[in-house]
Structure 1
Amino acid sequence: MDKKQKQNDEEFYQSFLNESMQDYAKNHKVPEENQKRLINAGRNHALKTNIMITLAILLLIVPVLTLSSYLYYAIGGKANHLIDITTKTIYVTEPNMSLEEMELEEDIGFFTMNIYFDVFKRIGKEDYKAGEYSILIALDKPNFPERDMKLERPLPITGDMETDMLYHPDGPYGKKVNSDWDILEHLPDGTVGEIYLSLNHLIKPEELENQFGNKVEVRWVAVDTGLEDKNLYEAGYSVAPIGYPLQVDTSTWSPFNGEKSNEEVFLDILKFLTKDEKTAEKISRARSLALKERISYIEKNGIQVYGAVVTGPTSELRKLKDNDLIKVMKVGEMKLWNWK
């Protein structure tokens, strides 16, 4: 094949190729409108695919997180531990307050747990609902409780101390406080009441019961811990009264159910709370519990009390005015007659 023939063949091939390409383009040309439709369809398909993948991942993550939260709180024992801290804190920081652990509810979320429970006060011979608590716990850190109290005279929180119902005989707060004997005098005889008594001097718990006889009942005692006679507020913090029920509670859920003496249970609870003191402080109405210092003082000096919550018929409560042991009396809750 000569050079000229080869060149002719190449030109013929190139011409054929161009005609073929033009023919293909002419026969297979997609209109611009169809092109946009195809592009939009592809985009929508990609978006739906991404959404389905994301939903699949979320649907996988939700049960994993739920299971992880359940394992953290329930299986790991964290829920029971936090409930233990909550219930025991109430018993030793809230005068004459108790709860029914069987009715305590918990709701586990994504690494959070809500605890709901009611608190009760013994007034006369019956327990009355005093309020509702709700505590949100994130991991193991509780928020301040939401309290919905149902009391006529709830414990106040003032600027320089936690409560103005119980006063240490040597403390800085009770020297100018007036008693509520006039209020008690004007209440009808057919009622029962709860009163807060602050004493003139420290006394052993068993001696306190003997002072008042069997016509009234000492429900809760405030324990001297070596800090109540100091103006700690000036040092930047204050402590609330701590104490324990003087009566045995036969309810199986109560820590003061008679298996040990109430004094022993009280000290056991304080030592238990030292491991999570910040949590206990959040749950209580105290700015500071200062548990280590207080435990050390009690173990060295024994348990002596400076105040008490007493309940009984109003007529019998009035008679306590003549008792030289009492320095200050504050009226708590009153109810219709239920004394048996």
Structure 2
Amino acid sequence: MTNNSDDSREQKLLAYLRGELDEREAKKLEDDVADDEEVTGRLERLLLGEGDGESQTQAAQTLSDEKQRAIIRRGKWKMRLTNSVYTFGIFFLVGAVLLVANGWIGSWMHDDLFRVTKDMVNFTQPGVSTGSSGSQVGVVYGQINMELREQVGAEEQNIGFLESTNFLWSVRAEPKWANGIRETKLFFRYPTDEKMTEEETAYLRTPAWNTMNRLPEGTVSQLAVSFDHPLTYDDYQKLIARHIFAHNAETVWFAIDTGVELKDHDQDGGNLLLSAGEVWGYAERNLDYGNAPIQVNGEGDRRTATFLAEMKYLTEHDRLTRDIGRILVSHQDPKVAERYAYLQEKGVRIYGAVLTGPTKELLKLQAEKSIAAAFLGKVEWWNWDRPGASGMQYSW
């Protein structure tokens, strides 16, 4: 069947070359020649006199040189155009698929990268919260710039931004502090098993109380306090309320016992002091409680459950958490799975907090005997009465 078909096509080509086809048949053959690379090649060989039999050479000689060149040229250009369109179509289709994949995978990566980055700032940087952000995340390369803020009194100050980048599946994060460096003043004393007297821990409190005594009335401050025993969220609120009315100060961060602290750090004469990148905790206002609002005070169980849920999320994204956390946790593995297991077993226990508000109001905590350490952070002029309108302008 195939041989008969080839012979028929061969005879038709020879008839065309001899000029024996009428105009309609000749036009159809020319279209077939343009569409079929194999037919074009065969016709070209016939025109060049290649093949068996004298009749082929004689047939080719019946067409003028110009006609022969025109047939071959037309067929070649049509094939080139067809091939170009076909090639372009393939590249366009592949590009469209990659574009869709880049957008879909990039969006998926962005959600996880953004959430993990925000959590790691929240959990490892006392008193620091995340603000506005800009991002571009794709399959090959992506970047998120997340603003870092610090609250002193009633105002939040920009202290820099955290830049997290991904190249393929490799992710890294790096803080860019506003002045090139962040001065660390907020320290916490971890409650070890070794009991110490008030006199033995006095040097961890006295400088802060003395400085706050000398500061004028019209100032606001940051204060990091540590307790000699762990507290639940509700116990903490009751303790603070004994000295300060709720509207006269605000707790912006809690230091949480995660069991890793004693393993990773050496004690200094019975005192274990931790700061940013070493301590672990959370800012309650940075947790996502869902659609239902949460009360300013109370609902301790709900806050605790939300914190644990976010810790579980980090364990489910262990590789990403480690990549983001290494730069924030003293260039070490943040050990989220180990911390989460400890919190599930022991519960969420608070041993320290960062408060901010009027300096003289915070000074009232000097009377609390369970405070084993107090460190004064930033101090600003009075801003506790919020203005009717305010804002900030950025140069980046």
TM > 0.5 between the two?
yes
Match for residue 188 of structure 1? 216
Q: Tell me: CA distance 1:62–1:69, structure 2 relative to 1, closer, same or farther (3 Å).
A: same
Give the residue type in structure 1 aligned to 2:147.
D
Cα distance change of structure 1 residues 150 and 220 upon mapping to structure 2, 3 Å threshold: farther
Matched, 1:333 2:355: no
State the AA in 1 paired with 2:188: L
Matches within 5 A, 1:94-109: 94-100=125-131, 103-108=132-137
Measured on the aligned residues, the alpha-carbon RMSD in Å equals: 3.3
Residue in 2 aligned with 1:131? 160
C-alpha distance in structure 2 between counterparts of 1:307 and 1:289, whole Å: 20
- Matching residue of 1:207: 235
**Residues 52-72 of structure 1: per-residue CA shift (max 9 Å, x gap):** xxxx9xx98998876654343
Q: 1 CA distance for matches of 2:130 and 2:212?
A: 28
Amino acid in structure 2 at the alignment position of 1:240: E
**SS of the residue 1:324 aligns to:** coil
Contact 1:204 / 1:304 at 8 angstroms: preserved in 2? Answer: yes
1:1-340 mapped onto 2 (5 Å cutoff): 69-74=102-107, 77-100=108-131, 103-108=132-137, 111-149=140-178, 154-155=183-184, 165-170=187-192, 178-179=204-205, 180-181=207-208, 182-213=210-241, 214=245, 215-232=248-265, 240-246=278-284, 248=285, 255-256=288-289, 261-284=302-325, 285-286=328-329, 287-340=332-385
TM-score by length of 2: 0.58
Q: Secondary structure at the match of 2:190?
A: coil
Amino acid at match of 1:88: D
Deviates more, 1:299-308 or 1:289-298: 289-298
Q: Secondary structure at the match of 1:104?
A: strand
The answer on whether the counterparts of 1:244 and 1:262 sit within 8 Å (CA) in structure 2 is no
Distance, in Å, in 2 between the alignment partners of 1:155 and 1:256 is 30
How far off is 1:110 after superposition?
6.8
8 A Cα contact 2:220 2:383, kept in partner: yes
Report the residue type matching 2:105 in the other structure: Y
Segments of 5+ residues of structure 2 without an aligned counterpart are 1-87, 268-273, 295-301, 386-396
Aligned-partner SS, 1:145: strand
Q: Relative to 1, partners in 2 of residues 1:294 and 1:67: Cα closer, same or farther, differing over 3 Å?
A: same
**Percent identical across equivalent pairs?**
22
Cα deviations by residue, 1:9-62 (Å, 9 ceiling, x for unpaired): xxxxxxxxxxxxxxxxxxxxxxxxxxxxxxxxxxxxxxxxxxxxxxx9xx9899
Please give the per-residue CA displacement for 1:235-276, whole angstroms capped at 9, x wherever unaligned: xxx972221224x46xxxx52566572211110111110122
For each residue in 1:140-197, what CA deviation from the matched residue of structure 2 results, as whole angstroms up to 9, or x when unmatched?
A: 32223142245996337xxxxxxx712212189x987634423333332211111111
Distance verdict in 2 for CA 1:143–1:211, change over 3 Å? same
Partner of 1:34: none
Partners of 2:372 and 2:214 in 1: CA distance: 20
CA contact (8 A) 2:105 2:138 kept: no
**The 10-residue stretch of structure 1 (300-309 or 103-112) with the greater mean CA deviation from structure 2:** 103-112
- Hey, what's the Cα distance between the residues in 1 that align with 2:216 and 2:138? 50
Contact 1:151 1:333 in 2 (8 A): no
The answer (yes or no) to whether the contact 2:152–2:222 under 8 Å persists in 1 is yes
* 2-structure distance, mates of 1:147, 1:336: 26
3-state DSSP of counterpart to 2:362: helix
CA contact (8 A) 1:205 1:221 kept: no
Change (3 A) 1:152 1:240: closer
- State the Cα distance separating 1:87 from its structure 2 match: 1.4
Matched residues in 1 for 2:183 and 2:343: separation? 29
Q: Distance in 1 between matches of 2:193 and 2:221?
A: 26
Q: 1:319 to 1:283 in 2, by over 3 A?
A: same
Structure 2 Cα separation of the partners of residues 95 and 220 of structure 1: 6
How many residues are aligned here? 263
Q: Say if 1:194 and 1:332, in contact at 8 Å, map to a contact too.
A: yes
* Deviation for aligned residue 1:227: 2.5
Distance change >3 Å, CA 277–CA 262, structure 1 → 2: same
